[in-house]
Structure 1
Amino acid sequence: MTVSDSNGTVTLELPNGASAEIKHFGATVISWKSAETSASKDEIKERFFLSSKSALDGSKPIRGGIPIVFPFFGGATREEHKPFSSHGFARSEKWEYAGVVSESEENVSVRFVLEPSAGVAAKYDQPFLLEYIVTLSQYQLATELHVTNPATASSPLVHQALLHNYIAASPTSTITISPLTNLTYVDKANGGVEQVESRRLVDVKSHTDSVYKSAPGTYEVRWEGEGGGGLDIKTSGFPDVVVWNPHAEVGSKIGDLEEGGWEKYVCVEPGFVSSWNTLQPGEKWVGSQTLIPL
């Protein structure tokens, strides 16, 4: 097991070949390579999509991996969030690498911390403490976001949060996500209308941007490309899940998304985004996920 911190990137490596890379900028996991839990366990594959046009120099949020969304999802609707661009500031700030939490030959955990920078504090007067723990295991990856309100006075922290997973999967026409049947969802690709999901297997054959409420917390992502593939996502603390793929309709207008990039991934994003979480001074909320390739 090795952990290195060089040029703004923390790299984790295990003896079986599994690895992960996390940028200080945004605490964004940009790479996760792992074998499968069943079948060819010695075949190491990249599990995340990272756009070849994505900036990695800290000039803008990273397009791929797992960007962290905080303190709001989408465009700002609350007055205190309006100084910031879409999805808030956590993915656009440099996080402190706080070192190794635990390590063995089977897994390693590292921790990142974000507190208000001078730039954020000048626009946002609410104190906060974010801690992000990334755990690489032989056949899975776990990420855990802790949000604490460190205020000593009566100053509630009202926030949303989401882990924006870019799962490497293709072709897009074969991808399915389940179980989402009978859930109410906001169809942002069609004007934000609320609908009830009737499909047993949700697909992304066209522009998809759906926010599922009161979601089950465990999701199966499958695709039927060369050899097929799959990934299970198990979550805790996230009541919602977002399914997103822009297709050419929207993707061709995204400046840092490579041409045809939308055919190489699906975003399945656990979040607390259809409502607001309120933390009183001293309170903490934790949202976590475990990704397991099949």
Structure 2
Amino acid sequence: MRTTFDALPDAAFGIVHTMARDAARAVVASRGAQVLSWVCRDKERLFVSKRALSGAGQAIRGGVPVIFPQFADAGSGPRHGFARLLQWSPLPTLNRSDSAGLRFQLCASDDTRKTFPYEFRAELDVTVAGDDLCVSLRVENLDRLDFSFTTALHTYLRVADVTRTRLYGLEGMEFLDSTNGGRREPASGKPIQFDGEIDRIYPEARGELSLSDGADVVRIQSKGFTDTVVWNPGRTLASRMTDLGEDQFDQFVCVESGSVAAPQVIPPGDSWRGTQRLTIIPGR
């Protein structure tokens, strides 16, 4: 089976690691510790743009980018942080009788200290088992001072047609509308539909979500993260994005588990962990 990124050059990803269990398969790049592909029930479940850019300082458009230590422009570093731009080191694998896993580590360096002047260690665990993909980020404070950060797993979920896709579970939540300067909007009272650009932060949205594209359902669960981010650029914005284009905007929805509305604070010697679990529920 062709994966979502087969047409792209290897240089975009660095070293690529593959794992499989129970007829499911995931591919993770050492660059950014970024999940690029998750094949479950013979279908690719993640989206990577066919125009994804490669090279130093370029983020890979798609998969599951790790946003750390800042979300968007909420900091002095590069947009969405440096974690998705740097090479992570592989750690011993997490293979068990019921799952397969990969682990990666990113530590403070001269590059990271330019914009985040703290000693830290970040670990990313990725596991597949049955119909599940689980991604877990752990951040440890190795410094002598408290530090704070914002973070997210910027997950691009592949859909058959974004205009027929619905996201359930946020009907009763207020949100911050990033397309309108972060203005707080009241709860809509209905599932999210994608009929134009959507860029929303749902603070304190920690419940279970379901994304349906008329075929299968993706159940989205998180632990440790405080918020949910929902994004699709719509046709107009996508047409201005050189690494996307208007012909691909309708193939994905980003549903991100994150801590972005308010930062996480870690004292010296302590750590924090956030986990996102995706489960495929096949259509009937």
Find out whether 1:122 has 2:129 as its counterpart.
no
* Matched AA of 1:165: T
Amino acid across the alignment from 2:67: V
Q: SS of the residue aligned with 1:281?
A: coil
Offset of residue 116 of structure 1: 1.6
Q: Which residue of 1 aligns with 2:24?
A: 18
> What residue in structure 2 maps to residue 136 of structure 1?
128
**Runs of 4+ in structure 1 over 6 Å off:** none
Is 1:67–2:65 an aligned residue pair?
Answer: yes
1: CA distance, partners of 2:150 / 2:25? 29
Residue 28 of structure 1 contacts residue 66 of structure 1 at CA under 8 Å; is this kept in 2?
yes
Indicate the residue corresponding to 1:145 in structure 2: 137
Listed as ranges, the gaps of 5+ residues in structure 2 are: 1-12
Residue 245, structure 1, aligned to residue 232, structure 2: yes
| C-alpha contact 1:128 1:157 (8 A) present in aligned 2 | no
Corresponding residue of 1:206: 196
Q: Secondary structure at the match of 2:119?
A: coil
Shift of 1:57: 5.1
CA distance in 2, matches of 1:111, 1:85: 24
CA distance in 1, matches of 2:222, 2:114: 34
1: CA distance, partners of 2:24 / 2:54: 22
TM-score of the pair, normalised by structure 1: 0.87
Per-residue deviation, 1:59: 4.9
- 1:249: Cα distance to partner? 1.9
Residue 49 of structure 1 corresponds to which residue in structure 2? 47
Give deviations 1:210-241, integer Å, cap 9, x for gaps: 000111331100112xxx22100111011110
Matches within 5 A, 1:95-114: 95-104=88-97, 106-114=98-106
Matches of 1:51 and 1:117 in 2, distance apart? 30
* Distance (whole Å) between structure 2 residues aligned to residue 164 and residue 222 of structure 1: 18
Q: Which stretch of the first structure deviates more once superposed, 108-117 or 52-61? A: 52-61
Q: Distance in 2 between matches of 1:160 and 1:187?
A: 18
Which shifted more, 114-123 or 125-134? 114-123
The equivalent residue for 2:279 is: 292
Q: Distance in 1 between matches of 2:253 and 2:47?
A: 9
Q: Alignment RMSD, CA only?
A: 1.6
C-alpha distance in 1 between matches for 2:123 and 2:249: 31
Q: Residue deviations 1:143-177, cap 9 Å, x none?
A: 110011111x2x11111110001000131111111
Q: For the residues of structure 1 that align with 2:14 and 2:258, how far apart are their CA atoms?
A: 30
C-alpha contact (below 8 Å) 1:52/1:258 kept by paired residues:
no
Corresponding residue of 1:41: none
Identity %: 29
Q: For structure 1, which runs of at least 5 residues remain unmatched after alignment?
A: 1-5, 36-43
Select which of 270, 273, 276 maps to 1:283.
Answer: 270
